[in-house]
Amino acid sequence: MTTPPPEKRAAFNLSSWALDNKPLVIFLMLATLIAGLMSFARLSRNEDPPFTIKTMVVSVSWPGATTRDTTLLLTDRIEQKLEETPWLDHLDSYTRPGESVVLVNLRDDTPPAEVTKIWYQVRKKTGDIAATLPNGVQGPFFDDEFGDTFGIIYGFTAEGFSDRELRGRLDQIRADLLRTRDVGKVNLLGVQEEQIVVEFSPKRLASYGLDVQAVVRAIQAQNAVAPAGVIRLSDEQIGLSVSGALASEASLSSMTLAVNGRFLPLTDLVTIKRIAADPPTPLFRVNGKKALGLAISMSPTGNLLEFSAAVKARMSRIAANLPHGVDMTLVADQGAVVKEAVDGFVKVLAEAIVIVLAVSFVSLGARAGLVVTCSIPLVLAMTFTGMELAGVGLHRVSLGALIIALGLLVDDAMITVEAMVGRLERGWDRHSAASYAWDTTAFPMLTGTLVMIAGFLPVGFAASSAGEYCFSLFMVILIALIASWIVAVLFSPLIGAWILPKTMAAHRAGEGQFGQMLQKRLDQALARPGVTLGGATAALLLACVGATQVQEQFFPPSDRSELLVSLNLPNAASIDATEAEAKKLEALLQDDPDVARFSTYVGAGAIRFYLPMDVLLNNDNIAQTVVVAKSLAARDAIKARLEAAFRDNFPDVVARASPLELGPPVGWPLRYRVTGPDIAKVYGYARDLGGLLAGDNAVRDVNFTAGDPRKTIDIAVDQTLARAIGLSSEDIASALAQIFSGRPITAVRDQNRLVLVKLRGENVERSSLATVANLQITGADGRATPLRQIATLSYGLDDPIIWRRNRQPVITVQADAAPNVQPTTITARLQPAIDAFAAKLPDGYSVELGGAVEEAAKGNDSIVAVLPLMIGVMITLLMLQLRSFSRTALALAMAPFGLIGVVAALLPAGTPMGFVAQLGVIALAGMIIRNAVILIEEVDANIAHGATVRAAVVAATQHRARPILLTASAAILGMFPISQQIFWGPMAYAIIGGLAVATVLTLSMLPAALLLLLSHVRHEEVLR
């Protein structure tokens, strides 16, 4: 049974070269290990993979304009110009009276490197048209750092300290923090700038016969900064300065005016007080109390865990110096979350390693198993180095990819060891065994590895946000598998040469219990090849039918214990109403035992504290609370309780409690956009569509982004009468604005801050509608004219906000899905009804699908776009390896049979197929084909050695059974640890099921097919 080793070949044999240059190879091994360790320590750690937020915000304000004017003359102009932006996907905008905000959204397939350049283009283009915008426009202002993540947030509450003092302290803390290494931005949250308000009563002023403008002018003139000149003498200059600047509200109060020959103290006419900004700018609350916040972001070059620790250390030092009354609370701590997540992943990685090692030990025996064991650290080290070079950090996707790769990367080492063991059993020496391994297995192994990598090509080249999110899956697998090949041909022979015994007992394939059972099954399959093939095909068809029943998903919700609660009041609501509702919500959370802490943002959405967050912009009618629950179960309990409370106690508010999202941000899962030229009609159609949606039982909480009206009082001025009296529309408008909104008249210079002095009507008059009707306007000559004299009032409605998409007004109908029902399922069910509805709309009005389904479609389309490339690469590799059309076709034909196992794994439990699971299923093809190729090759080799077709097939199957089963079980068992993770679960189950069934079929159906094919060919040959 011993065959002598062949003569040394002339061609280059890397394995034998390795054995000949042991010191060099040992050095390389050590260097790899050290480099891997260093890289592992240096790799950036994150919870989610970094991906580019491809949105930019351009905002302009035009105080005093109506919504209509702002839309047509400001928003439309800017949108027209910005339509030229390269890589533009669509423009969203919303317009409020006097305020216009445009969101520039780039295409999903924009190369991330281009994005910064495109933002400069946007700035440039908007600057170009800035000169053509109407007079009185303020701006444009840009926010291209929309994707900045503020992972560390501290809240400060003050008891007994004024807001100003707290603000002063926070400024100091901020300055201190900015000296930390790697700090990016430090923003203050909830800061209310102080104001001095000068409140007058129009009635009282009217009775004095005073024009309020005279008062304003007097104050402005006293406080103006005007140069007093300099005396230039022959040898020096002497400066002149004139006093009069107002230092505080006390100096304002002491002002005395000289009017009409009388002296009037200012306080007789007006009330002066210093208050926080009114109406408030967005507010911040922590655990139910008003607070100021400090949000800290890291610069891109930093290491999150080190930075987090540094910041925490600094802040604890600062906290120790804070006086009693000022309390600091840690609201968000990304470092802890990331550490926990990465530790969790690393633990799972360790488990996977242990499982794979156990498999190799059990199946290969002690020594051979040890060889495989030793190659794993080398592969991991090389992978970590490769990851650092490629710029891939440690996060959810890359760590999951490592675990998936684990099951696959032991293949190469196993094959090499198998080959060596096989030769050693025949009595060859180790060196020759190693060379033989290279000769026979290196290139097939390479092809097989490349085929498996090709299965992951769609992930790497999918040009979409979802693809960018999962990109590191491809990168890590690519690096890991290539590294495994290198280790298998370079290092494993050397390790094998050390560890494997000089001689090994021969061990026949086919002996032992397992081998007997396999033989029997194989005989059964080969006896009736037709039946076997037919049965498998029938199962495949059934699986296809079953696949239609599997629910689809984009990305699952996160397993973090935070809950994001958003409150949306009607669009015309004031920030005070929003604050009241937020306080109501906080009352619910305050005594809840499941809540660890919570923070509320009133008048704005929560700041981006983790990257894939659907950030809401500043609007007076929204409030968002971030609730940190004590555990995942607690989170779900809180969610259920809140939803019950929303139904009963929050009638005017659209409230949503949702867990955090994974993957690119989506927001409301079900979204339909109704667009058309006339916003009133669009609202009507949107309402009808909402009714249609609500008709489906699985839809919850239908709401609309716009359309609800704002009440207005239109003052129709009789211009002729007004002019006869000496008043104009401008006078009336500014008189009204002065009373109700207030007008800044000057600024008091207080150390390094400008405190705005605002003139406005007294509270009683300001908050009463009757004031408008009964207003008396003082003309320039001091005479008071009742407003009714020159104007008539009419009471109507207008739109507080108009959303547009691609320059057409749009109202989005949003809804949530019932628990355990996927939005995709609901959308598919509703599609016919919605199509019928859309068909009935008049010209120019249409309904578009948005939300999770749109995002999923974008992701899926990007994957499908790369599929041809993947198939082409696979075919090329297979042709290179197999050099036969029939064999290639046969190998490719094995791939779909994985679906049987996928469906069997997902359908019974109702697990939805997410985006990641789809990627896994596509990659499964590569794994299945690889196993098939191994078998086909062996059969060909046997036939080339002169065996009959049947004998060749049987021998090949028996011989290859163990390696195929080994690799499959390593892959399958290696997936079990991550099957418990929310993100990877479905993919793990899909791969486990698919690979298991496919392996069984590879060992039964493929031989039968080969038998049929080769018999047919042989028959043909014989006939010829």
Site residues (CB under 8 A) for other proteins, limited to 643-702 = 647-648, 651-654, 680-681, 683-684, 687-688, 690-691, 694, 696-698, 700, 702
Rule CB under 8 A: say whether 316 interacts with other proteins. no
Sign of CA dihedral 787, 788, 792, 798: positive
Rule CB under 8 A: say whether 766 interacts with other proteins. no
Q: How far is the CB of 850 from other proteins (least distance, A)?
A: 19
Cα separation values, 964 from 363, 414, 774, 968, Å: 12, 10, 91, 6
Among 258, 795, 843, 1024, binds other proteins (CB under 8 A): 795
Q: How far apart are CA 584 and CA 288, in angstroms?
A: 10
For the chain, the C-alpha Rg in angstroms (whole number) is 37
- Closer CB to other proteins, residue 543 or residue 933? 543
425: exposed, middle or buried (Cβ count in 10 Å: 0-12, 13-18, 19+): middle
Rule CB under 8 A: say whether 820 interacts with other proteins. yes
Cα separation values, 688 from 401, 812, 839, Å: 46, 12, 14
- The number of residues making up the chain comes to 1024
Q: What one-letter code names the amino acid at 212?
A: V
Among 770, 839, 944, 1022, binds other proteins (CB under 8 A): 770
Q: How far is the CB of 345 from other proteins (least distance, A)?
A: 32
Among 776, 806, 860, 884, binds other proteins (CB under 8 A): 776
Q: Binding to other proteins (CB under 8 A): which residues in 181-220? A: 201, 203-204, 206-207
User: Any idea which residue has 């239908």 for tokens?
Assistant: 702
User: Any idea which residue has 């090389």 for tokens?
Assistant: 382
- Closer CB to other proteins, residue 648 or residue 1021? 648
> Going residue by residue from 454 to 493, which x/- string records binding to other proteins, judged by CB under 8 A?
----------------------------------------
Note whether 138 and 62 are within 8 A (CB): yes
DSSP calls for 891-938: HHHHGGGHHHHHHHHHTTTT--B-HHHHHHHHHHHHHHHHHHHHHHHH
Rule CB under 8 A: say whether 957 interacts with other proteins. no
Q: Binding to other proteins (CB under 8 A): which residues in 220-259? A: none
Q: How far is the CB of 264 from other proteins (least distance, A)?
A: 14
> Going residue by residue from 800 to 819, which x/- string records binding to other proteins, judged by CB under 8 A?
------------------xx
- Closer CB to other proteins, residue 453 or residue 904? 904
Rule CB under 8 A: say whether 1015 interacts with other proteins. no
Q: How far apart are CA 923 and CA 917, in angstroms?
A: 10
Stretch that binds other proteins, among 23-31, 101-109, 662-670, 706-714 (CB under 8 A): 706-714
Rule CB under 8 A: say whether 503 interacts with other proteins. no
Q: Binding to other proteins (CB under 8 A): which residues in 973-1002? A: none
Rule CB under 8 A: say whether 5 interacts with other proteins. no
Query: Residue 622: in which H helix or E strand, if any?
Result: strand 622-629
> Going residue by residue from 351 to 370, which x/- string records binding to other proteins, judged by CB under 8 A?
--------------------
- Closer CB to other proteins, residue 107 or residue 700? 700
Q: Binding to other proteins (CB under 8 A): which residues in 558-577? A: 570-571
Rule CB under 8 A: say whether 9 interacts with other proteins. no
Query: Residue 382: in which H helix or E strand, if any?
Result: helix 366-390
Cis before 140? omega within 30:
yes
> How many residues lie near other proteins (CB under 8 A)?
79
Rule CB under 8 A: say whether 725 interacts with other proteins. yes
Q: How far is the CB of 80 from other proteins (least distance, A)?
A: 26
Q: How far apart are CA 900 and CA 543, in angstroms?
A: 5
Q: What is the DSSP letter of 426?
A: T
Q: What is the DSSP letter of 569?
A: -
Instruction: List, in order, residues 6 or more apart from 839 with CB less than 8 Å away.
Output: none
Q: How far is the CB of 644 from other proteins (least distance, A)?
A: 11
Q: How far is the CB of 893 from other proteins (least distance, A)?
A: 19
Rule CB under 8 A: say whether 896 interacts with other proteins. no
Among 30, 250, 389, 531, binds other proteins (CB under 8 A): 531
- Closer CB to other proteins, residue 130 or residue 259? 259
Among 121, 703, 808, 846, binds other proteins (CB under 8 A): 703
Note whether 417 and 492 are within 8 A (CB): yes
Output the six-digit token pair for 950: 């049947």
Q: How far is the CB of 812 from other proteins (least distance, A)?
A: 14
Cα separation values, 140 from 58, 61, 122, 415, Å: 7, 8, 11, 64
Rule CB under 8 A: say whether 261 interacts with other proteins. no
Q: Binding to other proteins (CB under 8 A): which residues in 570-629? A: 570-571
Rule CB under 8 A: say whether 729 interacts with other proteins. no
What angle (nearest 5°) sits at the alpha carbon of residue 696, between those of residues 691 and 699?
85
Packing angle of the helix pair 396-425, 492-499 (nearest 10 deg): 50
Output the six-digit token pair for 683: 């609202």
Q: How far is the CB of 347 from other proteins (least distance, A)?
A: 33
Q: How far apart are CA 218 and CA 224, in angstroms?
A: 10
Q: How far is the CB of 796 from other proteins (least distance, A)?
A: 7
Q: Which of 744, 615, 619, 624 is nearest to 278 (CA)?
A: 744
Rule CB under 8 A: say whether 128 interacts with other proteins. no
Output the six-digit token pair for 797: 């409605």
